Amino acid sequence: MTYFDENDLKETKINHRVELEYYRTKKNTKDDFKYGIEIRKKEYINDIITEESNNIENISNSSDKVIEIISTLKKYKVTPIGLNDVLEDLLKEN
C-alpha cells in the first residue's frame, strides 16, 4: 500500500487522504499461470470513502516480471485510471 504524501497532495490540489493498493493477480491457464495487476484506490473525504479499481489480466507468465512492474507503478503512484496507459508504455520498453 502507498499513500499520497503532502507534496503529491499539493501538486494535485487534493486535500484528503488517498490510499493506493497494488496486487498481483494469478490465473490458472491450461498449461501454466498468467499473472496480472490490480490497483485499488480509496479516497477518504470527510465521512465518505470512495473506491475505484482497475485490473488487467494475462500480462505475463512471469511472476517476477509482474512484481517488477508493480514496483514501478508504486514508485510513481499510478492510479487505476492510469493503469492501462502506463502499462502499455512499460511493456513497450521491454
φ, ψ (nearest 5 deg) of residue 20: -125, 135
How many domains are there within the chain? Answer: 1
Domain ranges, residue 72: 2-93
pLDDT digits (tens, 9 = 90+) for 18-72: 899 999 999 987 788 999 999 999 988 888 999 999 999 999 999 999 999 999 9
This prediction has a pTM of 0.84
* pLDDT on residue 32: 87
Torsion of CA 28, 30, 34, 39, to 10 degrees: -50
* pLDDT on residue 1: 73
**What is the crossing angle of helices 83-93 and 63-75, to 10°?**
120
Most confident range (mean pLDDT) of 1-5, 45-49, 90-94 is: 45-49
Q: What is d(CA 9, CA 92) in angstroms, rounded to the nearest whole number?
A: 30
